[in-house]
């Protein structure tokens, strides 16, 4: 990274091309205003999210979905944050997240505590408590059940197949579009409904207009139910080189749940850019930030690939 500059990537229509603009960021209030004129939507920015976000205005982001480097992970990029220092490393960034997030917005934090000396470390618990002190509401904890967790065998524990999806908000009331993530009803009523309709037909022949038929009408067309706070998703790898933190399904679910078309989604630890890809696919705007130039380029390539594919599809 060169001094006082960051690199901004953006996707263009041209296949396999991207522009790199050098933009001064770390500026005082006057110049900051000028920068604000810069459209940060649909950009991938290389830099430290804590610094980059200082150039983003208050209350301008609708949703933050991210999976920060866990303690002692992504050492080459983030230097491997020590578990004991995790909270103090994270909180200045969380303060920026708080500032840029709209009052009606949500922050989804994918995280899981490491095992240290045979014990689960407590930095995630401490992080939640500290977030509250900094004004965040710990609204909910969703559970990601990783259906295909990596194998492994230890004498004192099994494979770790779940991760936390902490849901923080700024207010008790926030935007939530529950209908957007309704799911087909369970196998239970599928089979029952199937059988029910057969019975219905049978009875319909013998007796028309009874109250029974009315009962059926309540079920017919009601294929969808609201999900719970447990998400069952398999992990996926974008390619052999760079494994994604989570499958595209995951940010997709929260993007549909907490935003509408045109809203802006931020991933401050963008990595291979799964959040941005999901956002773009769902016609939302994205802002991805990552320290690593390699990851930024990978992300922009993925976004370009997807745009191209969608373009081809349109022309078909």
Residues making contact with a second copy (CB under 8 A)? 117-120, 122, 125-126, 128-129, 132, 137-141, 143, 145, 149, 153, 155-162, 172-174, 176, 178, 187-188, 194, 196, 226-230
160 is a site residue for DNA (CB under 7 A)? yes
13 vs 187, beta carbon nearer a second copy = 187
Contacting residues for 135 by C-beta, under 8 A, at least 6 apart: 98, 170
What angle is formed at CA 163 by the lines to CA 158 and CA 168, rounded to 5 degrees? 155
Q: Which does 138 bind (CB under 5 to 8 A by kind): a second copy, DNA, none?
A: a second copy
139 vs 308, beta carbon nearer DNA = 139
Distances (CA, A) of 274 to 49, 175, 259, 303: 17, 22, 17, 9
Distances (CA, A) of 277 to 22, 125, 223: 23, 30, 29
Residues 182-201 that bind DNA (CB under 7 A): 185-186, 188-189, 191-192, 195-200
Residues 251-310 that bind DNA (CB under 7 A): 269, 271
- β-strand 18-24 against 61-66: which pairing, if any? unpaired
Contact 60, 41 (CB under 8 A): no
73 is a site residue for DNA (CB under 7 A)? yes
What angle is formed at CA 105 by the lines to CA 100 and CA 111, rounded to 5 degrees? 85
| Least separation in angstroms between CB 273 and a second copy | 27
Closest by alpha carbon to 13, among 316, 306, 313?
Answer: 306
Residue selected from 238, 253, 254, 295 as contacting DNA according to rule CB under 7 A: 238
| Least separation in angstroms between CB 127 and DNA | 13
Place of tokens 């205005």: 57
147 is a site residue for DNA (CB under 7 A)? yes
Residues that bind DNA (CB under 7 A): 67-70, 73-74, 110, 114-115, 118, 147-157, 159-160, 172-173, 185-186, 188-189, 191-192, 195-200, 203, 212, 215, 225-226, 234-239, 243-245, 269, 271
């Amino acid at each position: 990274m060169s001094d006082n500059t960051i690199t901004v990537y953006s996707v263009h229509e041209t296949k396999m091309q991207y522009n790199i603009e050098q933009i001064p960021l770390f500026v005082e209030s006057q110049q900051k205003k000028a920068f604000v004129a810069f459209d940060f939507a649909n950009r991938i920015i290389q830099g430290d999210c804590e610094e980059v976000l200082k150039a983003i205005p208050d209350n301008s982001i609708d949703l933050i979905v991210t999976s920060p480097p866990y303690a002692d992970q992504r050492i080459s990029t983030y230097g491997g944050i020590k578990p004991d220092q995790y909270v103090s490393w994270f909180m200045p960034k969380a303060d920026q997240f708080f500032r840029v997030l709209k009052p009606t917005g949500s922050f989804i934090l994918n995280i899981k505590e490491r095992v240290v000396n045979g014990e689960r470390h407590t930095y995630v618990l401490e992080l939640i408590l500290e977030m509250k002190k900094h004004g965040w509401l710990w609204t909910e904890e969703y559970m990601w059940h990783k259906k295909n967790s990596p194998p492994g065998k230890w004498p004192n524990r099994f494979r770790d197949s779940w991760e936390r999806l902490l849901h923080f908000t700024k207010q008790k009331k926030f935007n939530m579009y529950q209908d957007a993530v309704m799911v087909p009803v369970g196998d239970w009523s599928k089979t029952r409904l199937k059988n029910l309709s057969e019975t219905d037909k049978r009875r319909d022949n013998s007796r028309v207009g009874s109250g029974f038929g009315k009962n059926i009408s309540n079920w017919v067309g009601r294929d969808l139910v609201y999900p719970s706070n447990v998400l069952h998703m398999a992990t996926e790898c974008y390619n052999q080189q760079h494994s994604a933190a989570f499958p595209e399904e995951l940010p997709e679910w929260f993007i549909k749940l907490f935003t509408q078309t045109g809203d802006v989604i931020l991933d401050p630890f963008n990595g291979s850019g799964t959040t941005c890809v999901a956002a773009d696919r769902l016609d939302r705007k994205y802002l991805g930030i990552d320290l690593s130039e390699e990851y930024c380029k990978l992300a922009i390539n993925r976004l370009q690939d997807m745009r191209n594919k969608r373009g081809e599809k349109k022309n078909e």
